[in-house]
Homo-oligomer: A and B are copies of this chain.
């Protein structure tokens, strides 16, 4: 199905608490949907084995990264364990102009910064079906202590009060359903009058 005609792409920002499954949903969408491209982050951390420049990350040094910050070239950035991570604006804008949708998977703090810098994005909050299920998923990963998990759950409850900054929320109980819902959001967004009607009308009028 053609999602768009001559229209530019849209930026879809998938966000939500750790354990909600935004990464899995994002991966599935990229597999299933044509004309959808992942936003590649920039980082100052060293490449790991198997990571490819421009695919896994754009790798760079601190000096260059800080110049990008000062130049306003990043949609958002943060420091994690002494390394910079950020979303370069230019590759996103290029893809959108070429008519490709871009998907960005990011935590809530990052999503809110992206919204400041690119309010035309579509902001989707991915939620777990319940706090009990989120606890189960985080425990199941086996990567964090019980205390750390409780901290995360507390964080999640706080994050929920920012949900009205988002356009959509999707509960990820059954993965297939959550993926289908996000796909539906992408299709619906491309059918919005504000997004698509102007060119359409022009084409009808030209024709007559």
Instruction: State the main secondary structure of chain A at its contact with B.
Output: helix
Count the A residues whose beta carbon is within 8 Å of the partner chain — how many? 43
Q: Interface 1/0s, chain A 180-208, versus B by CB < 8 A?
A: 11011101110111101100110111011
Cα(A205)–Cα(B127), bound, Å: 13
Q: Which of B124, B160, B207 contacts A201 (CB 8 A)?
A: B160
| A1 and B130 within 8 A (CB) | no
Answer yes or no: A157 CB below 8 A from chain B CBs.
yes
- Give every chain B residue within 8 A of A184 (Cβ-Cβ): 183-185, 187-188, 191
Say whether, besides A184-B184, A191-B169, A164 and B197 are in contact (CB < 8 Å): yes
The answer to whether A192 touches B167, judged by C-beta atoms less than 8 angstroms apart, is: yes
The answer, among B131, B167, B205, for a CB contact under 8 Å with A207, is: B131
Whether a CB of chain B sits under 8 angstroms from the CB of A58 is no
Set B157, B167, B185, B205: member contacting A208, Cβ < 8 A? B157
Check A163 for interface membership: any CB of B closer than 8 A: yes
Inter-chain contact B125/A193, CB cutoff 8 Å: yes
Query: CB-defined interface of A74-92 with B at 8 Å, one 1/0 digit per residue?
Result: 0000000000000000000
Question: Contacts A157-B204, A208-B153 given: A187-B181 contact, CB under 8 Å?
Answer: yes
- Tell me which residues across on chain B come within 8 A of A191, comparing CB atoms: 124, 168-170, 181, 184-185
In the bound complex, what is the Cα–Cα distance between A181 and B188 (angstroms)? 7
| CB<8 Å pairs between A and B, sample of 28 | A1-B180, A124-B191, A125-B193, A130-B204, A131-B204, A131-B207, A132-B207, A157-B204, A157-B208, A160-B205, A163-B193, A163-B197, A164-B193, A166-B193, A168-B188, A168-B193, A169-B191, A169-B196, A171-B200, A180-B187, A183-B184, A184-B187, A184-B188, A185-B187, A185-B188, A185-B191, A187-B188, A188-B189
Residues of chain A whose beta carbon lies under 8 Å from any beta carbon of chain B = 1-2, 124-125, 127, 130-132, 153, 156-157, 160-161, 163-164, 166-171, 177, 180-181, 183-185, 187-189, 191-194, 196-197, 200-201, 203-205, 207-208
